[in-house]
Structure formats: C-alpha cells, structure tokens
Amino acid sequence: MSVGRSAPPQRTLPVLADVARLSGVSEITVSRVIRNKGPISAKTRERVLHAVAETGYVPNRLAGALASADSMLVGVVLPSVTNIVFADVLRGIHEALAPSGYQPVVGVTGYDADEEERVVRSLLAWQPAAIILAGFEHTDGTRRMLAASRIRVAEIMDIDATPIDVAVGLSHRSAGRDIARYLLSRGYRRFGYVGHDWDSDHRARLRFEGLVDELSAQGLGVVAERRIAGPSSTLAGRETLAGLLATGERPDVVVFSNDDMAVGGYFHCLAAGLEPRRDVGLFGFNGLEIGAALPLRLSTVRSNRFLIGKLAAEALVARPDRPDDTAIINTGYEIEAGETA
Amino acid sequence: MSVGRSAPPQRTLPVLADVARLSGVSEITVSRVIRNKGPISAKTRERVLHAVAETGYVPNRLAGALASADSMLVGVVLPSVTNIVFADVLRGIHEALAPSGYQPVVGVTGYDADEEERVVRSLLAWQPAAIILAGFEHTDGTRRMLAASRIRVAEIMDIDATPIDVAVGLSHRSAGRDIARYLLSRGYRRFGYVGHDWDSDHRARLRFEGLVDELSAQGLGVVAERRIAGPSSTLAGRETLAGLLATGERPDVVVFSNDDMAVGGYFHCLAAGLEPRRDVGLFGFNGLEIGAALPLRLSTVRSNRFLIGKLAAEALVARPDRPDDTAIINTGYEIEAGETA
DNA sequence: TCGACAAATGACAGCGCTGTCATTAGTGAA
DNA sequence: TTCACTAATGACAGCGCTGTCATTTGTCGA
C-alpha cells in the first residue's frame, strides 16, 4: 500500500512495491511483466501475475506516462457529439485506437474557435501523443500551441486546404461540383438551396460554392436559396423548405446542406402534398441511415465519417513523430442515387 | 527546458523551472500562481503570468495529478456514442464539467459487459475522481474494481435497482406502466409491441414489463409482439412493424421500444397507406427531435437525457469522497401527447 | 570444470509537479 | 524603533512508475 508524505486520508491502492514484495522480485521486474517488455522468465512472469491478481493492482497511468514521456493518449476535439456525423467519426476513432493501447480524450467546442483553443490547451496539459481537430479553422493561439508541442495533428472532415500535419476527409468543393453534375445529368435545371449556418459549418459553404461553380460553368445558377442562422436540424429543414417554396420560385430540385435538413424537407413535402422527385427533387449530404429508411430513399452523398475517424487515428499512431511534410488522406464520397432526385 | 535523464530526443517544452527562472521566483510560487492557490502578491503574479506567456508554458497534468493525488478526470463509460440518447447524455456531462476543471474521458463498450470491465480497468489506470456507467449490469470484476477504488460512481439511465453509489435516471418500469395508463385513457385496448434486443437494452425490457403489468391489472394484454435480435434503428422499426401487421393481428396501438423504431413504424405506415392514429396508434420512447419534425408529431415519452448526464456529473464532483449510503436522483419523464396515438 | 555469451534481474535517478512545514518579508501598533 | 502577527515565499520530499546501465544468473561448448 502506498504510504509516504502526508497525503489526504484516502484509498490505499496497491502499487508496484506491493506486487514486488508479494512476488519476491523488484518493482522494475513487475513493471516489465505488466508492460510485457524485455526478457522475463516464465517462472517470474507467473509469480508476478499471481501477485497482481491477488493484490488487485491497477497500473497508475499518471506515473507511467510521466516517467516514460508517453501518455498513450490521443486528444479528440469535436464541434459536437450529438451531431451523428461526429458521433460516427468518434466511433471510427474508438475502433482504431482500441487495439493500440491509445486512449481518446474528447473535448467539445460547440463550433467555436476560441473554445477550440481552450479545449486544445486543456488537452495538451495531458501530453497527448496526438490530437484530432475538425476542420482547418483555428485561432493563432491554437496554431502556436500545436506548433510548439510537435505532436501529431490530424485535421479531419475536409481536405481543401493545407494541413498542419495530416488532413483526413473529402473535398467538399468537389462534392458540390459533383452534386451539380449529377443532378444536371438527371435533367434538373432549376436549382434551389436550403442551408444552415455557414459560420459553424464551413464545409457546407464549400459544397455550395462547388455547386454554384459547376452550374455557372453550364450557364446556370441557383434560382432560390434560403439559409437559417442556427444549426441544422430536421425541423429547420422542414420549415426552411416551406419558406423557400412559399416565395413562388419553382425550383425543380432543392439541394440541402445536409441530410438532416433534407429529411425535414421531405417531411414538408408530405405535409404539403408534394411528391419528392415528381413534384420537386430533394438532395441531401452525408448519407445518414434515416434517409435510407424514408418511404422514398433520400438521394444524397455518402461521406465516410466512420472511415475518416478510423484512418485519422490510425495515421497518427502509426508514426509518433511529426513528419516534416504534410499529408492528405482522401476518404472520398459516393453519390447515393436514392429515390428523391 | 526540461533536461535530465537520457529521454528520447524529442520536444523540449517549457516546465515550471523555466518560468521560475524567468520570473525570478521559485517553482512552487509559479505553481501557486497558475493554480490560483494560496496568497500571491499582485506584483509576483504579474511577473509570473508574463513569464508564462513568454515561455508558452503549458502545465503538465500528468505530473500535477500524480503529485496531488487528484487527476481531475471523470471516466465516462457509454454503450455507444452514435446512439443520440447517449450523445445527449454526453453533452450534459460535458456541460456540467466544463466550469469545474474536471475533464471527461470516454470509453465505449458496445453494450458488452466484458468490454465494460476492460474499459473500466483502462479508465481506472488514470485515477479518475469519479466514473459514470450506464445501467446496473456489471461483471463481478467490474464491481470489485469499483469497490476497491473508492471513487464516486454514478450509474445512469435507470433507477430501478440499488446503485453502487448514486443512480441518476428514470424508472423504466414506471414509464411502461404510465404508457399503458395513458394509452388506455385514450381509448386503446388492443396493444401491439415492436422492440429490439433486450440483451443490450435492459431498460426497454423494463418498460415492456411495466406496460404488461399495467395491462394485466386491467384484464388486458399485448395481442401482437415482435422483437428483433439487433440494435434499434429506423429501418428496423419500419420492417418490424410491417412484419407485425402482416400477421393479421390488428392492434389499435403499437408501442415501440424507442423513437427510432417508432419513426420507422411511421414510415411503414406512409408506405402502406395507413394513417397514424386513425388506422393504428404509434407510440415511441425518448422524445427525440426527429419525432417532433414528422408531419404528425410522434406520441412518445420524453426522457431527460441531457439532464441525466448533467446531474450525474454535478453530483459526482460536488462531493469527492464516496458517501456510505447510496442515493437516487430521479430525472423523471413526461408523456408527450403528439399526434400519432 | 571453466569461460564466453546471452538472458534475466536490479539499482539508480528522475519525469514535472505539489503537499507540508519552515523561513522570510511586510505591516501595524505601541 | 521594536515587537507581534500575518502575508508571502521557498526547501524538501515524494507521488508511482520507467529509461538506462550495471550486475547477476543461466546455458552451452570446449
């Protein structure tokens, strides 16, 4: 049991010394057995593992990480955990890290760059081996900390800018272009757009810009457009499409900033007696499961969120030191034809 | 810069000693300034903070936590991060902890008790001040570790059993009873049930049992019931209701194990030309936003997930030592009438 | 049996910070 | 000016483990 300086009266958990005493070897040998590092005789290993079980010893990662200068932690900084997009990313991160011994530590920024700086500072205090950030938009303070720390950095979701270290995601600008091309090939000519706050979702803006670029190249444009100031949601999508169609403009297809909004648009059509595709095409982004469960499967782009999280985490732990040059891992996207456009 | 034993050649981050040298005070004074602990003269504080900014010093929480026997970490063990229910809980936890200095560390169990044991062991190695677990079902190994650690433990989501320390949630058995009472008061008499895997969702089973108990007390029962072996999803709900109704049984209302399943049931009705409530009532559980965005708002029970997470985290950090007696914090639930039942 | 080599184990120092008690500096009253 | 008390600061030891080098033990071949 740990005794020493007059710490507050608290739990007396077994430490290495207790296991060492019981198994008749030194602390460092016990440590070697537990970490499975270096040569250990089978006999010693058995005695130590028996003593571990008997004492109920749990390693102290604080001490181990401090002594070894390797916390085995990976910081994960996400705008939101309730947005299924990032929840899928987090699932990919967890799955990639589970066999590696690395542990994710999650901070939430609420889509705010100043909050991201605070979260990053707080996470860096834990000396993580790596950190995962969403997007490329950071404060100068955040950038300075990341530069000073020299740890691996993955910027995820987007690959349309130069990363600090490695970027993992898809080109949202290209996705916007491909959406336009695809819908044009389906015969649509009058485009509407329903979106949400671009300040917090830069990637939605990039997709819109790609869409507009491609339409422009074909001598077309967006005939009706409406964006809300807040976050995306199904209800917001429903209401915003209602508002857009109430203007009298008659787009033959409406591109939504994401699937949440598009599902809401679908609900508006149900309530307004419009049939998706026959009366107006609906097109989302992300390829969420709920879109596939609709009576008419939502037409959308599948972004590989799980894969983004998984590949980002794998890239970081595969090489602990930061390379001199930057890298981009393109997880791509797929048009999901569906039945609404 | 930190120099000492021959650690691997790596980043040389500033430590307390660097700040101390630059500001002309001792390390412990620098530490006091940063932690805002004990008496500090304004002049000294200013010199230290200036040196901190100049060196870019980031505290090392590994060292601080080890030395102070207080990691300021809270372990959070969740079955899933993609299930919006737990994502909302996590949001509540993050919000409660943000002003407290405590940092959540999340592990994911995939609804598996053995995996929960592994995650708990892994989290305990970080000496968290407290831990949050979902539900009451743990392995003996998990229980032994939690008993030995003496840290605060919140078991969340359910209050229908005796907790290790504190339970935060609602009574699912009561909710099932109240659902039955409510629907009976609406005139429904022929009950159907569509559910998902009870092995991973014990609380769905409790609600079902409460429902059946109350119906039984009124001389009634469930006339048609179908459960799938896997997790809940909108698509599963859609398909399972289709299968249930194809049996020829004609329930006048169908209770679903949760909103995901109920929304899927709604989609089946749309595709099958059935009108919710007029042709068959639909009743969910959880009060998710997507249910409220449907053309006809889903009838459901609102479980206060955010509040569960928030109150659990607050309870844990409010008192660091584990009380001798257990406690239950009932976050309650509300019937949301909606328009489908 | 002895010597060489490899396997196994241990001693030492220290990772970066903080609890605790000791010391110093500052302030106010007589 | 001196003394008493409080505020401010510092020295010391150690939290629990691990990197590194030294020492011991075991094995095999001559």
- CA–CA dist A2, A18 (Å, integer): 8
Q: What SS3 state is found at B333?
A: strand
Burial class (CB in 10 A: 0-12, 13-18, 19+), A137: middle
Chain A residues with beta carbon closer than 8 angstroms to that of B124: 58
Q: Please, what is the average pLDDT of chain B?
A: 92
Q: CB–CB of B84 and A84 under 8 A?
A: yes
CB contact under 8 A, A293 and B238: yes
Q: DSSP for A291-336?
A: HHHSSSPPBEEEE-HHHHHHHHHHHHHH--SPPSS-EEEE--EEEE
Is B295's CB within 8 Å of A271's CB? yes
User: How far apart, in whole angstroms, are the C-alpha atoms of residue A95 and residue A100?
Assistant: 10
DSSP conformational letter for B280: B
Distance from CA of A217 to the nearest CA of B (A): 37
Rounded to a whole number of angstroms, the CA Rg of chain B reads: 26
The pLDDT tens digits of the residues spanning B96-137 come to 998 888 989 999 998 999 999 999 999 999 999 999 999 999
Query: Searching chain B, which residue's CA lies closest to the CA of residue A121?
Result: B58
Provide, as residue numbers in chain A, all residues whose Cβ is less than 8 Å from the Cβ of B150.
10-11
Q: What is the pLDDT of residue A5?
A: 52
Low-confidence ranges of chain B (pLDDT < 50): 1-4, 6-11
Q: Give the whole-angstrom CA distance, residue B203 versus residue B184.
A: 22
Cβ atoms within 10 Å of A218's Cβ, excluding its own: 11
Question: How many angstroms is C1' of C1 away from CA of A27?
Answer: 36
Give the pLDDT score at B5.
52
Are the C-beta atoms of B111 and B82 separated by less than 8 Å? Answer: no
The closest alpha carbon to A137, from A121, A119, A117, belongs to A117
CB under 7 Å from any atom of strand C: which residues?
A: A 5-8, 25-26, 28-29, 32, 38-41, 43-44, 63, 66-67, 69; B 2-5, 7, 13, 15-17, 27-28, 31, 34-35, 37, 57, 59-60, 63-64, 66-70
- Min Cα distance B149 → chain A (Å) is 7
Distance of CA B18 to the CA centre of its chain: 42
Structure tokens at B315: 């309870």
CA B41 / C1′ D1 distance in Å: 27
Q: Is the CB of B29 under 7 A from strand D?
A: yes
Domains of chain A: 16-59 (1.10.260.40), 71-171+306-332 (3.40.50.2300), 172-302 (3.40.50.2300)
Residue type, A293: A
Say whether A124 and B90 touch across the interface (CB within 8 A).
Answer: no
Q: Which of residues 130-149 of B touch A (CB under 8 A)?
A: 144-145, 148-149
A-contacting residues in B 276-305 (Cβ below 8 Å):
289-290, 292-295
ipTM: 0.88
B263 in contact with A, Cβ within 8 Å: yes
B292-331 pLDDT tens trace: 999 999 999 999 999 999 999 999 999 888 898 999 999 9
- Provide the pLDDT for residue A39: 87
- Reduced to 3 states (helix: H, G, I; strand: E, B; else coil), residue B154 is strand
- Name the H helices within chain A: 16-23, 27-35, 42-55, 61-68, 84-97, 113-124, 140-149, 172-185, 202-217, 234-245, 259-272, 289-293, 305-318
Taking the C-alpha atoms of residue A126 and residue A132, their distance in angstroms, rounded to an integer, is: 14
CA B150 to chain A, closest CA, distance in angstroms equals 6
Output the pLDDT for position B199. Answer: 84
Q: Name chain B contacts of A122, Cβ cutoff 8 Å.
A: 103
Q: What is the pLDDT of residue A10?
A: 44
Q: Nearest residue to C6, CA vs C1'?
A: A39
In whole angstroms, give the CA distance from residue A243 to residue B245. 37
Q: Which nucleotides of D are covered by protein (CB under 7 A)?
A: 7-21
CA distance B47 to B219: 79
- Per-residue confidence (pLDDT) for residue A61, from 0 to 100: 93
- Please report the pLDDT score of residue B2 as a whole number: 47
Mean pLDDT in order along chain A per 10 residues (341 residues):
43 86 93 91 92 92 92 94 92 91 90 93 93 96 91 96 97 98 97 92 95 96 94 94 92 97 96 94 96 95 97 93 93 97 96
Sheet containing A222-227: order of strands: A222-227, A191-195, A253-256, A281-283
Distance from residue B42's CA to nucleotide D5's C1', rounded to whole Å: 21
A305 to chain B: nearest residue by CA?
B82
Q: Measured between CA atoms, how close is B134 to chain A, in angstroms?
A: 17
Pick from B13, B122, B295: CB nearest A270: B295
What residues of A are in contact with residue B106 (Cβ under 8 Å)? 104-106
Chains A, B: CB pairs < 8 Å: 147
Instruction: Tell me the residues of chain B between 55 and 84 that have a Cβ less than 8 Å away from chain A.
Output: 56, 58-63, 65-66, 69, 71, 80-82, 84
